[in-house]
A and B are shown apart, each in its own frame.
Chain A
Amino acid sequence: MDFRWSEEQELLLESLEELLKREAPESLMAELDAKKEFPDKPWQALADHGILGLGIPEEYGGAFTDIMTMTLVCQALGKHALPLGIIYSLGVITIRDILQFGSEEIKKEVLGGMIRGDAPVALGITEPQAGSDAAALKTTAEFDGDEVVFNGQKMYCTLSKQAKYILLMTRDQKSENPYESISMWLLPTETPGITFHLLNKVGWWTVPTYEVFIENVRVPKKNLVGEMNKGWPQLMANFEIERLALCAASVGAAEAAFEDAAAYANRRVQFGKPIGTFQAVQHIIVDMAVKIENMRNYIYKIAWMMDNDMPVRTEHAMCKLYVARASFEVIDSAMQILGGLGYMMDHRVQRLWRDIRLMRIGAGTDEIMYNIAGPQLLKKVR
């Protein structure tokens, strides 16, 4: 078993690290966070470098890459500029949905823009009454000649205002079976009838989230992505890789926090000695490092399984469950080691702390991960 990266992966990560140092230094990320601004320039720099084209087929202007490399990219982004890792991860699912289910016309229109630096296509699933119970969504789609008319409301729709499109999930209310009555549509965000209401979150300040009101919004029928009433299985197909990408970004963030804590432990002198010489601090450091090592191995294993076309339904849920918790714990420990300084808005660990806490909730709560993995695990043992 060779745990080493290929030379190409090493060179790509070195190049990416250099790019992030130039275009997304910590001072800029801190400033954007304080202003709650979408990181336009750094995102554009990623586009110009070609990173946003990874995984998109060459015929649409991208460059092939495997899931392992994508995982490494998300991890590097998470470490050096977490918001970029988050935004990138959010795009992973919508890009794949469009690639797998969109018409040629939709693919050409959307993917080119994404490679050039558009904000990723936003995902419109959750509604006020439909969170973990996503199938309870109520937004409707009624046909009217060559058009389809949407009515409804979406909640926690991240980047929907920045993006050019929302991947909108609607449900045929007449059908009893939710899993065969949901459809997926491409909704341009400039279409009349859409209202955005900005939500005030604890973290993810540079990745805005909105409540979206959809009133008699009309788009051409051909904006259907995939098949009518097959939206649910289409959606499920790519949740796994989105969760993996977000996990990778979280691991990167934990690594950043670890470095901050360790550097501080070496430098901060109390009672005449660097605090890193005290056993209590060393024990925390070791626990952090063990968690990071576990998280890394977990995300790489899942990536490897996906690259080898192995099913990861149970495994990815367990991975997401573990990484969401462990990454937050590592960052929380870093804050503890940094003491008062860690609690200051000046220091980046508070930003990582606020941003990563969402991981246990977003993209599938801990509880849903348990629900996915539990029954499957029991089935394995008779």
Chain B
Amino acid sequence: MKSQRDIWIFTEKNTLLAELVGCANGLAKEMEANLTALILGPYSLARQAIALGVGQVFWLGEQRAGDMVEDCVPTLAKLVETHAPYAFLMGSTTRGRTIAGRLAARLDVTVLTDIKEIKWVDRYFQASHLIFGGGALRIEQTQVEPVIATVVPGTFLPGQADPNRQGEIVFVEWVPPTWQVGVRERKPRTATTVNLAAARKVVCLGRGVARKEDLAFLKDFANILGAEIGCTRPLAEGLNWLPRERYIGISGANIKPDLYLGVGVSGQVQHTVGMSDARVVVAINKDKDAPIFAQADFGIVGDLYTVVPALMAAIKAMK
């Protein structure tokens, strides 16, 4: 019988820590729980967690050379078995989902992925997430502990840091993993700092864009509008023409701009769920049956290579 309820948080991405604290704070109030952060990284990061309002940090130390982040799974599993937290929130990154899944399998629990909301109601955890490619919202509840949930960046308001906060930092023993994967190489992707969620206007590029070279004139177009460039998944993941942060959709950025203008975007629901709250939606596509038109305020059926230059000219003429 536990007298104290614990909510744990973990992410390998430092920038997500504040959001996890924000999510956990809401839950902690409902449950009268304490917050614990599990930190893999430099001591300064543990201090940062305390400043964000976490009462306790289990510090796994710095990542060893040649290790992968995911090698911490056995350590996390042992800690969970020892301390039995009620909930364990993790950042929904590729690594975060791996750690959550592997941990859940070890503990014979499930994972609530990409939650939009989590509450403590009548001693149950209730969480909601999007399913059917964004077409529906499912609300689930569970009592099995720990509840492991992953949180998508941008869902919750981040907690605020206060360097005067006090807390406990406990160094924990590393459990060596039973199998390891050899890291041969790390190839950086074109990383740019873009905050698509904050952009007021977004021009989104889709599969209708034929060549990477065309990005140049489309960036000019975006500049004339004062818009940021976003894209659908194939341009970021498959073709690698744009960094992943520019991908708008169910496992990417979620935006609420004043203007969304889709160029050569077909409008699959996995993409539109990331922009459906935009105030004004415009679509340009040469396929008259593209689903995007049903979700647009204004649409032009036409070849983007004709329409966009013409639109640029029309806008310039208006200024």
Contacts and interface: CB of A to CB of B under 8 A. Distances in A.
Note whether A and B contact each other (Cβ less than 8 A). Answer: yes
Contacts of B286: 27
B145 interface: no
B287 interface: yes
A37 interface: no
Interface in A292-313: none
Contacts of A26: 287
A263 B287 CA distance: 14
A25 interface: yes
Nearest to A27: B286
- The A contact surface, by secondary structure, is helix
A25 B289 CA distance: 12
Interface string B286-310: 1101000000000000000000000
Nearest to B302: A346
Contacts of A25: 287
Contacts of A27: 286-287
Interface in B233-288: 286-287
Interface in A219-234: none
A27 B264 CA distance: 13
A309 B287 CA distance: 44
A201 to B, nearest CB: 27
Nearest to A26: B287
Contacts of A263: 289
Size class of the A contact interface (CB-based, 8 Å): under 10
A54 B286 CA distance: 33
Interface in B159-188: none
A219 B239 CA distance: 52
A263 B286 CA distance: 17
Interface in A249-293: 263
Contacts of B289: 263
A26 B303 CA distance: 13
B139 to A, nearest CB: 34
A263 B291 CA distance: 13
A26 B287 CA distance: 8
A340 to B, nearest CB: 15
Nearest to B208: A27
Interface string A115-143: 00000000000000000000000000000
Interface in A134-177: none
Interface string A16-48: 000000000111000000000000000000000
B263 to A, nearest CB: 15
Contacts of B287: 25-27
Interface in B205-223: none
Nearest to B287: A27
A26 B301 CA distance: 13
A260 to B, nearest CB: 9
B197 to A, nearest CB: 33
Nearest to B293: A267
Nearest to A25: B287
A93 B119 CA distance: 70
B102 to A, nearest CB: 35
A366 to B, nearest CB: 34
A256 B287 CA distance: 15
A270 to B, nearest CB: 18
B304 to A, nearest CB: 11
A66 to B, nearest CB: 33
B136 to A, nearest CB: 25
A22 B287 CA distance: 13
A27 B304 CA distance: 13
A129 to B, nearest CB: 46
A211 B10 CA distance: 77
A36 B289 CA distance: 25
Nearest to B285: A27
Interface string A313-355: 0000000000000000000000000000000000000000000
A341 to B, nearest CB: 10
Nearest to B294: A267
A296 to B, nearest CB: 23
A261 to B, nearest CB: 13
B285 to A, nearest CB: 10
B286 to A, nearest CB: 5
Interface in B130-180: none
Interface string B83-119: 0000000000000000000000000000000000000
A307 B23 CA distance: 67
A67 B207 CA distance: 38
A27 B303 CA distance: 9
A263 B289 CA distance: 9
A365 to B, nearest CB: 36
A263 B293 CA distance: 13
Interface in B191-207: none
B23 to A, nearest CB: 41
A25 B286 CA distance: 11
B63 to A, nearest CB: 44
B250 to A, nearest CB: 22
A12 B77 CA distance: 49
A27 B290 CA distance: 12
A94 to B, nearest CB: 35
A265 to B, nearest CB: 14
A25 B288 CA distance: 12
A26 B286 CA distance: 10
A78 to B, nearest CB: 18
A262 to B, nearest CB: 12
B29 to A, nearest CB: 50
B132 to A, nearest CB: 21
B292 to A, nearest CB: 15
Nearest to B289: A263
A27 B287 CA distance: 7
B12 to A, nearest CB: 38
A175 B289 CA distance: 60
Interface of A: 25-27, 263
5 contacts: A25-B287, A26-B287, A27-B286, A27-B287, A263-B289
A-B pairs, 5 with minimum CB distance: A27-B286, A27-B287, A26-B287, A25-B287, A263-B289
